[in-house]
Amino acid sequence: MGDITIESSKSQSLNIHSRIQENVARLYNQFPYPNYPLLARPRWQDGFLASSYFSRRLASQGCGTCHAAGDVLVAGCGEILPYVIRKWEDPQVSVVNIDLSHRSLARARLRTLMSRGKSEFHEMDIVAFLDSCHTKGRKFAHIETFGMLHHMADPATAVAGMVRQLAPGGTIRLMVYNSPARQWIHALQDYFAGIGLGILNDAPVQATRRARDVLSDFAARSPFLADRLRAVGTSTLNNPARMADTFLHPHELRWPIGRWLEIFASAGLKLLGIFDRYGELDDLVNPLWLESSTLKIETISSALADRAADRRFEGNLELIWVQDGQEEPRANQDKTVNNNQHGDHLKRLKFCMPPHIWFDFEETRHLSTLCRLRIWHAFLAEGLDARKIAASAWGNDPRTLQRLARLGAIFPDQLDSAHAKIAAAPMTEFMTPPDFPDHAPLAQDGDAEPHASAIRTLDEALNKAIE
């Protein structure tokens, strides 16, 4: 009897997993993400964070050497990252792209047709793919997974598989949602589900248009929603793929920040850094340079949770981890990458302009093209001496140095110890929580069901989100 109960609960959970996967695949087959025009040429330098080079540089701080390169896995690759990452990676290594959506993979394959180096594409669930790698003994030097884990039924199993298939000293870069900051989005998702509007029930493109019209009506009536939707921007509201991804997703986990940190830490990874894309964590020590920090994961977790609770931190969680406890930083054992050739590969990148985000902050905007190129070339240089960077490159302004260091443009090993100390320090004593306009109730007398109940729940949830 006991065995039968266990078996039936196992098969129930398998059913739930496969239903979630089916729905997620349907969404991204209908709307490959992020749905850039096929003929657009993305500025791939802006994807520096996704490169194995960036994570390796972070991981090698303190030990003076760059970890060896090896094959790169892109888990939940979508349609653009395979192209961006292929541009960054050494042509000698394979970029292995996994996604549930065959349309995303087809678009990604098309984009990489002319790229140097090998790309593989597999239409598969990531856990099944990692299991097949386990059987074949295939390991990866770096794993990139941006925006996938929170759409899974059981991300912990995927994370455990990733860590298992990571070569010694390998790195993982990931993005998962900062759920506490998305309460208002969750409230709208629940409203749309409550009135039966969704890409699985309706004609998908029409559903996104209807949702957009509903949102613009809500924004006209609620100052809070007007403010929030303005922040989301027309690039999302007018793009069916992004509308569906944000407001009509069939499966988005709503996990607290600590739970995400916990599954990575307990899988045997060490947190190298947090990428603070919007400069919301300026009152903390440089969150990207945690390599040598003695901060406990619980301390980091509660610092982020406190800031998410009062809205000082609204960005998503962008984290870089390294496999912990490996005595020798070695990557993919069956493939030895020739470091001279890798240097040549980086030299080619120098002919492009640096990432936009480095110079998009008030502290960095003023830097001349010459300074920007000096910082970029030092970032790409092979060999520690070539990378060293003089204070004139950041105009001798400590705040400019601090911002650049937080954005990953300058690493500790490029600086003397006095400047490294400045770059690691907090930029300010405290950050002020943002003020939000009030929410005006959307429910009206005479509302008909199911809208009437759903809108009452929405009003309550939005009022709670502002508290």
Ligand X SMILES: C[S@@+](CC[C@H](N)C(=O)[O-])C[C@H]1O[C@@H](n2cnc3c(N)ncnc32)[C@H](O)[C@@H]1O
Q: Does 72 bind ligand X (CB under 6 A)?
A: no
84 vs 367, which CB is nearer to ligand X? 84
Helix (H) / strand (E) element for 212: namely helix 204-221
Q: Are 149 and 177 in contact (CB under 8 A)?
A: no
Tokens of 80: 């653009």
**Closest distance of CB 77 from ligand X, Å:** 6
Q: Judged by CB under 6 A, which of 31, 54, 146, 358 binds ligand X? A: 146
Q: Does 224 bind ligand X (CB under 6 A)?
A: no
Q: Rounded to whole angstroms, how far apart are CA atoms 449 and 176?
A: 35
Q: Judged by CB under 6 A, which of 49, 73, 81, 263 binds ligand X? A: 81
152 vs 410, which CB is nearer to ligand X? 152
98 vs 272, which CB is nearer to ligand X? 98
Q: Does 47 bind ligand X (CB under 6 A)?
A: no
Q: Judged by CB under 6 A, which of 100, 141, 185, 207 binds ligand X? A: 100
Q: What is the CA radius of gyration of the chain?
A: 23
**Closest distance of CB 249 from ligand X, Å:** 9
Helices (H) and strands (E) in the chain, counts: 19, 7
Q: Judged by CB under 6 A, which of 152, 274, 320, 378 binds ligand X? A: 152
Q: Does 126 bind ligand X (CB under 6 A)?
A: yes
Q: Rounded to whole angstroms, how far apart are CA atoms 152 and 160?
A: 14
**Site pattern 15..44 for ligand X (x: CB under 6 A):** ------x--x---x----xx----------
- Using the rule CB under 6 A, give the single segment among 131-139, 145-153, 286-294, 304-312 that binds ligand X: 145-153
- Please state the φ and ψ torsions of residue 178, each to the nearest 5 degrees: -90, 85
> How many residues interact with ligand X (rule CB under 6 A)?
23
Q: Are 128 and 154 in contact (CB under 8 A)?
A: no
- Using the rule CB under 6 A, give the single segment among 75-83, 160-168, 179-187, 423-431 that binds ligand X: 75-83
Q: Does 99 bind ligand X (CB under 6 A)?
A: yes
76 vs 180, which CB is nearer to ligand X? 76
**Closest distance of CB 177 from ligand X, Å:** 10
User: Which residues make beta-bridge pairs with 99?
Assistant: 123
Q: Does 459 bind ligand X (CB under 6 A)?
A: no
- Using the rule CB under 6 A, give the single segment among 77-85, 273-281, 309-317, 424-432 that binds ligand X: 77-85
Q: Please report, as residue ranges, which positions from 237 to 266 form the binding site for ligand X (by CB under 6 A).
A: 245
- The count of other CB atoms within 10 Å of the CB of residue 171 is 27
> Distance of alpha carbon 83 from its chain centroid, rounded?
16
Q: What residues have CB less than 8 Å from 150, skipping those under 6 apart?
A: 176, 177, 179, 252, 253, 255
Q: Judged by CB under 6 A, which of 98, 211, 288, 465 binds ligand X? A: 98
Q: Judged by CB under 6 A, which of 49, 58, 66, 80 binds ligand X? A: 80
Q: Does 197 bind ligand X (CB under 6 A)?
A: no
- The count of other CB atoms within 10 Å of the CB of residue 212 is 19
350-to-88, 160, 256, 347, 395 alpha-carbon distances in Å: 12, 37, 40, 5, 21
- Using the rule CB under 6 A, give the single segment among 141-149, 305-313, 346-354, 382-390 that binds ligand X: 141-149
Task: Return the residue matching tokens 């000698």.
Answer: 92
423-to-19, 418, 427 alpha-carbon distances in Å: 48, 9, 9
Q: Does 315 bind ligand X (CB under 6 A)?
A: no
Q: Does 83 bind ligand X (CB under 6 A)?
A: no
3-state secondary structure of 319: strand
159 vs 462, which CB is nearer to ligand X? 159
186: burial class by Cβ within 10 Å (0-12, 13-18, 19+)? middle
Residues near ligand X (CB under 6 A): 21, 24, 28, 33-34, 76-78, 80-81, 98-101, 104, 125-126, 146-148, 151-152, 245
